[in-house]
Amino acid sequence: MAATALPRTRGHARRAPRRPLGIVPTGVLVLGAIYTLFPVSWVVVAATKSKAELFSTSTFAPGTGLLSNLTDLFAYRDGVFWLWLLNTLLYAGGGAVLSTAVSTVSGYALATYDFPGRNLIFNILIGGILVPSVVLAIPQYLLFSKAGLADTYWSVLLPQILHPYSIYLARIYARAAIPGSLLEAGRLDGASEWRLFRQVALPMMTPGMVTIFLFQFVAIWNNFLLPFIMLGDDHRFPLTVGLYTLLAAGANQPSLYNLIITGTLLSLIPLIALFLTMQRYWRTDLSGGAVKS
């Protein structure tokens, strides 16, 4: 998603002279769009099918069961779906905000200050990107258990706040977006470092922060393994783990496919809404720079 933000400025330059070649990238993008949207469209159609229709009617024939699926889902265990949705919002929203804050501050510091150990820290962070978070889930669980924090909201929030890739992104962005001369000018005018960060750097980093926020929001929203391992109490489950209990209902219980598919569809809506509303921040801030060099 971040990639769509950057090429926009380049698009203007290319448009006129290279018209015929333009078909190729467009075609690739269309293929990519179909590839990613196809499963989503299946979810949309399947969510309308009743239990009887789900496995018997043709794949893309709309069904008649959307309303009953929704009623069943909301009635399932006295509306536990809403609780899971709220939990997910808390984990994804809270986690993404905290993670963006930490990443922005660290990225800004790494990009603009020269201090001993800076490269070491940065290299360790880059190494951290290479370690998949899946690998860390069980050690994190054991650590949190020792601290008595397992099976709490913190056990899911805290591990997702420090995200090496986001810090890396923030550093790259800060480096490119904040000219050293601007900070120098501010210092000469007697602004404190805190004020420089808040009033000069922060507005310029907003598009980068939005990207990091969205990345983290989506990543936490979709995260399964960490909450699955950390949480025992089903009233703290996010949607991913909650819906999974409907799928793996035990060997002798049927999977509640209808409810899972409908729940999946509903859980997509906040993500789509978020992207549509956040998109404009990329545009306004990328086009309106503070310094023209």
The binder of another protein chosen from 250, 276, 292, 293 (CB under 8 A): 250
Q: Which is closer to another protein, CB of 30 or CB of 247? A: 247
Residue 152 beta carbon to another protein: minimum distance, rounded to whole angstroms: 11
**Tokens describing residue 3:** 């990639």
Site for another protein in 133-162 (CB under 8 A): 138, 141-142, 145-146, 150-151
Q: Is 253 in the site for another protein (CB under 8 A)?
A: yes
| Selected range binding another protein among 10-18, 47-55, 175-183, 274-282, rule: CB under 8 A | 47-55
The binder of another protein chosen from 9, 234, 272, 288 (CB under 8 A): 234
How far is C-alpha 257 from the chain's CA centre?
26
Q: Which is closer to another protein, CB of 150 or CB of 210? A: 150
Site for another protein in 74-93 (CB under 8 A): 77
**Residue count at the site for another protein (CB under 8 A)?**
32
Residue 135 beta carbon to another protein: minimum distance, rounded to whole angstroms: 14
Q: Is 167 in the site for another protein (CB under 8 A)?
A: no
The binder of another protein chosen from 73, 169, 241, 261 (CB under 8 A): 241
The residue written with tokens 């820290």 in the block is 121
Q: Which is closer to another protein, CB of 152 or CB of 279? A: 152
d(CA 272, CA 214): 11
Residue 280 beta carbon to another protein: minimum distance, rounded to whole angstroms: 39
* Nearest residue to 84 (alpha-carbon basis) of 241, 224, 192: 241
Residue 145 beta carbon to another protein: minimum distance, rounded to whole angstroms: 4
Q: Which is closer to another protein, CB of 57 or CB of 279? A: 57
Q: Is 251 in the site for another protein (CB under 8 A)?
A: yes
Site for another protein in 194-213 (CB under 8 A): none
Q: Are 244 and 227 in contact (CB under 8 A)?
A: no
Q: Are 226 and 160 in contact (CB under 8 A)?
A: yes
Give one DSSP letter per residue of the chain, joined into a string. Answer: -HHHHSHHHHHHHHHTTTTGGGHHHHHHHHHHHHHHHHHHHHHHHHTT--HHHHTTS-TTS--S-HHHHHHHHHHTTTTHHHHHHHHHHIIIIIHHHHHHHHHHHHHHHHHH---TTHHHHHHHHHHHHHS-HHHHHHHHHHHHHHTT-TTSHHHHHGGGT--HHHHHHHHHHHHHHS-HHHHHHHHHTT--HHHIIIIIIHHHHHHHHHHHHHHHHHHHHH--HHHHHH---TTS--HHHHHHHHHS--TTS---HHHHHHHHHHHHHHHHHHHHHHHHHHHHHHH--S---
Q: Is 287 in the site for another protein (CB under 8 A)?
A: no
Q: Is 38 in the site for another protein (CB under 8 A)?
A: no
Q: Which is closer to another protein, CB of 4 or CB of 64? A: 64
The binder of another protein chosen from 252, 269, 276, 292 (CB under 8 A): 252
Residues that bind another protein (CB under 8 A): 51-52, 54-56, 77, 138, 141-142, 145-146, 150-151, 228-229, 232-235, 241, 244-245, 247-256
